């Protein structure tokens, strides 16, 4: 499948009847960047993580990895078909194509914690409503920049446009 097809299937929260699966190793590739909403089932550990797959064998499973030269998604898709899944697709261009087409990536919580522990330069932005969420608790060091007020508060962003920005939210406020 191509980027447009994957984009039509990706949503937060994930669409019912669709599962996006990153077949790359967690620490080296999935954690520092993956398609939002994707779960991680590394191909080399597929058999250990089959419990993450849905019970419904008619669920659309979209596997991806690190581009057309990477075969991890194809191997995982084949294993899923062997288990009886009937709607298995491969996004062969994978994560590099996703980013190249202007889509945002997501990072894992363990990766964010690692960056914070290392004192990596970043601006952490809580996009949730300030009074209902941020004021009741947020990740230390995060600034409040609610999505609904982004245009009014954009001056809170760092002047250095090369500075990494990490946004977070929860539930339906992520839309």
* 12-21 pLDDT per residue, tens: 777 899 999 9
Q: Scan for tokens 């009741």, then name that residue.
A: 136
Spatial contact of 20 and 35, defined as CB atoms under 8 Å apart: yes
How would you list the strands of the sheet with 123-126, edge to edge? 143-144, 123-126, 165-168
**pLDDT in the model for residue 150:** 86
**pLDDT in the model for residue 173:** 47
Spatial contact of 19 and 60, defined as CB atoms under 8 Å apart: yes
Model confidence pLDDT, tens digit, residues 59-109 = 999 999 999 999 999 999 999 999 999 999 999 999 999 999 999 899 998
* pLDDT above 70: percentage of residues in the chain: 97
Spatial contact of 175 and 128, defined as CB atoms under 8 Å apart: no
pTM listed for this prediction: 0.86
**pLDDT in the model for residue 80:** 98
């Amino acid at each position: 499948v191509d980027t447009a097809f994957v984009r039509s299937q990706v949503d937060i929260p994930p669409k019912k009847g669709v599962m996006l699966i990153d077949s790359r190793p967690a620490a080296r590739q999935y954690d520092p960047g993956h398609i939002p909403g994707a779960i991680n089932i590394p191909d080399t550990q597929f058999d250990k993580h089959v419990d993450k797959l849905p019970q419904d064998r008619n669920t659309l499973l979209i596997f991806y990895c690190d581009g057309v030269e990477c075969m991890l998604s194809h191997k995982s898709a084949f294993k899923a078909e062997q288990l009886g899944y009937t709607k298995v697709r491969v996004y062969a261009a994978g994560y590099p194509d996703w980013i190249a087409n202007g889509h945002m990536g997501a990072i894992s919580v363990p990766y964010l914690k690692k960056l914070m522990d290392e004192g990596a330069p970043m601006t952490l932005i809580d996009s949730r409503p300030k009074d209902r969420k941020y004021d009741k608790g947020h990740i230390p060091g995060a600034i409040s920049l609610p999505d609904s007020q982004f245009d009014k508060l954009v001056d809170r962003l760092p002047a250095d446009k090369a500075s990494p920005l990490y946004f977070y939210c929860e539930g339906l406020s992520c839309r």
